[in-house]
Structure formats: C-alpha cells, structure tokens
C-alpha cells in the first residue's frame, strides 16, 4: 500500500488490536485525516523527529550510511 501523504510504501502494524497500515517515513496511519504540509520545510520536520528518525531522514537524503550518521549524532549530542 502506498502512503497518500508522502508516496512511500506503508507497512502493516500488528501491534494494535486492529492491524493498520503505517508509513514509517512520515508517520501517517491508515484512516487518519491527511495533514497538508505544503508549507513545511525540512528544518521544521527535523525539529519534531527523535534521534533515530532524524538519522534515517538525513542518511536517506544525503545517501549516507544510516548507522554512521546515528553514531555521529550520538557523539555530538553527548
């Protein structure tokens, strides 16, 4: 199933009473209202992410190794 918000592949989340499809890229869950984020910048998206989400976002955009980016971010935060 394709995410209607960002176009990435959605995964079946079986950790709930009723299984729902969830997009791990933008956080959309099947059946929820679609938020229009046309004015959102990459910086505003990064503010709302935790460390692992930010590492995945940066590594995908820059074509880098996600593990290396996460280790670099851990070193700079500590």
Cα separation, 20 vs 28, whole angstroms: 11
Q: Tens digits of per-residue pLDDT, 7-58?
A: 889 888 877 788 889 888 887 888 877 666 566 677 777 778 888 888 888 8
pLDDT in tens, 55-69: 888 888 888 888 888
3-state SS track over the chain: CECCCCCCECEEECCCCCCEEECCCCCCECCCCCCCCCCCCHHHHHHCCCHHHHHHHHHHHHCCCHHHHHHHHHHHHC
């Amino acid at each position: 199933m394709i995410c209607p918000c960002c176009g990435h592949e959605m995964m079946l989340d079986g950790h709930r009473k009723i299984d729902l499809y969830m997009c791990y890229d933008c956080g959309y869950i099947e059946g929820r209202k679609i938020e229009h984020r046309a004015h959102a910048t990459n910086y505003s998206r990064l503010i709302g992410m935790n460390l692992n989400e930010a590492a995945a976002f940066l590594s995908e955009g820059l074509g880098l190794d996600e593990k290396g980016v996460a280790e670099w971010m851990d070193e700079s935060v500590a």
